[in-house]
Amino acid sequence: MTPPGADHSTDSYLPGHGNGGYRVLHYDLDLDCRIVSNRLAGKATITAQAVQSLSRFSLDLGQMRVEDVRVDGRRVSFTHRAGKLRIKPERAIGYGAVFKIEVRYAGKPVPMSGRWGDLGWDELTDGVLVASQPNGSPSWFPCNDRLEKATFLVQLTTATPYTVVVTGDLVSRRRGAGTTTWVYERTEPTAPYLMSVQIGRYELIELAPGGVAQKAAIPPRLRTLFRHDFGRHGEIMSTFERLFGPYPFREYTVVVADDDLDDPIEAQGMAVFGRNHVDGRRTHERLVAHELAHQWFGNSLTVADWRHIWLNEGFATYAEWLWSAASGGASADSHATRWHIWLSAQPRDIAVANPGVARMFDPLVYKRGAVALHALRARLGDSAFFSMLRSWAGENRHALVTTEKFRQHAERFAAEPLSELFTDWLDRPALPPLPPAPR
């Protein structure tokens, strides 16, 4: 049993992030950001529920100065060292009790450094970018940095010339004396790493018409190139809704930062691209499809433990191939054949279902995960395969998922057992032969 207030989580890859003894229900963040000096002042009000009696508990928070901590309105003692804010309430919090934590903090936010580079709050040339996967959230707000989901309300004040985009629905925008306060609400359950803030001198435009609100925040000078490169976004959305089921959120926002980025980044209801991903030739359209697919696979359906990362990246990679086929490009079978040849030339040293923390973002996880889905499609046939995908996304909407849960789900659509197929493709490093094209 997790000891009361344990300052670790049950995640097998990142046990140092996340905390035991309680679950967060809601985050209310009131932030003031000074762009030029990179100063952030915040008040976080966190509503939580104890899952055992708590004489102490902890939150994750990076290199910020903590000024005051209260539990249910009463000042409490705390320590803040090595990324952990440890809190001791006046009296123990009983099992099942709902309580509020208020944390006032300030400082110069810096990304969380680690094996995947700098994650979380990061300065742009003229603005801010937040990309937290998998453990960058404590760089900008105190949180229980695990994969459990909560709702969010984020209020951010900054200089008026800047546009602020936060994951969620824009509730209000209030002009002050040289500043503007932007208020966003995220009512769908959201893992902390999928919350994002983007600040820049952006123009807000419509991305595509349709039932889902699709908009973009872009540098104005890139408008013409962007219109071409993202011109088929409405079609991609329609294709994925047909294949995966209804889009799981109310809105989708694409942000193009006015800096170069190595890779696009997904957040809940959002994707962030660099200016280098906009060239007027649709060079990166597969990445546009990839990031949108994450809204189903990764954001609505979120892995319960990082070892299941192929459920995010293998699915989003396969979605690239599905869009290619739907838009008149190479078929999914052609892509699977190409990448199976590539996989056959790589070392056989990774099991997709548990690649290890050092390899969780390895291209092998992405490509072999996608080929595994293609093999499953060949076994099930198109009708059963896509019925399976739609029900997988629908039945687990806004929930946590595991590889074992997916295996059990897929078995419902198969005429014969799938255990050997899954073992060969997901559990063993050896590469199985590519099956014949789907029927």
Residue 36 and residue 159 in one domain: yes
Query: pLDDT of 100-133, one tens digit each?
Result: 999 999 999 999 988 888 899 999 999 999 999 9
Query: pLDDT of 90-101, one tens digit each?
Result: 999 999 999 999
Residue 101 and residue 172 in one domain: yes
- Asked if the model's pLDDT at residue 20 lies above 50, the reply is yes
Residue 421 and residue 345 in one domain: yes
By residue range, what is the domain housing residue 148? Answer: 22-112+130-188
206 is in an annotated binding site: no
Residue 378 and residue 411 in one domain: yes
pLDDT band, very low/low/confident/very high, at 2 (cuts 50, 70, 90): very low
Within-domain flag for 123:
no
Residue 271 and residue 339 in one domain: no
| Number of structural domains in the chain | 3
- Inter-residue long-range contacts of 337-343, CB under 8 Å, 24+ positions, other chains counted: 337/434, 339/367, 339/368, 339/370, 339/371, 340/371, 340/431, 340/434, 342/367, 343/367, 343/368, 343/371, 343/431
Residue 182 and residue 35 in one domain: yes
pLDDT band, very low/low/confident/very high, at 10 (cuts 50, 70, 90): confident
Least confident of 6-10, 55-59, 189-193: 6-10
> What CATH code is carried by the domain that includes residue 65?
2.60.40.1730
Query: pLDDT of 145-173, one tens digit each?
Result: 999 999 999 999 999 999 999 999 999 99
Q: Report, as an integer, the average pLDDT of 363-391.
A: 98
- Asked if the model's pLDDT at residue 296 lies above 80, the reply is yes
- Asked if the model's pLDDT at residue 266 lies above 50, the reply is yes
- Asked if the model's pLDDT at residue 309 lies above 50, the reply is yes
> What CATH code is carried by the domain that includes residue 247?
3.30.2010.30
Least confident of 75-79, 107-111, 113-117, 389-393: 113-117
| Domain end call among 237, 270, 295 | 295
> What CATH code is carried by the domain that includes residue 386?
1.10.390.10
- Asked if the model's pLDDT at residue 1 lies above 90, the reply is no
Residues with catalytic annotation? 291, 366
Residue 169 and residue 310 in one domain: no
Within-domain flag for 15:
no
185 is in an annotated binding site: no
Residue 307 and residue 291 in one domain: no
Q: What is the pLDDT of residue 370?
A: 98
* Structure-token match 């970018």, residue found: 129
Residues 331, 365, 249, 153, Cα dihedral to 10°: -160
Q: Report, as an integer, the average pLDDT of 210-231.
A: 97
420 is in an annotated binding site: no
Residue 286 and residue 348 in one domain: no
Q: Mean pLDDT over all residues of the chain?
A: 96
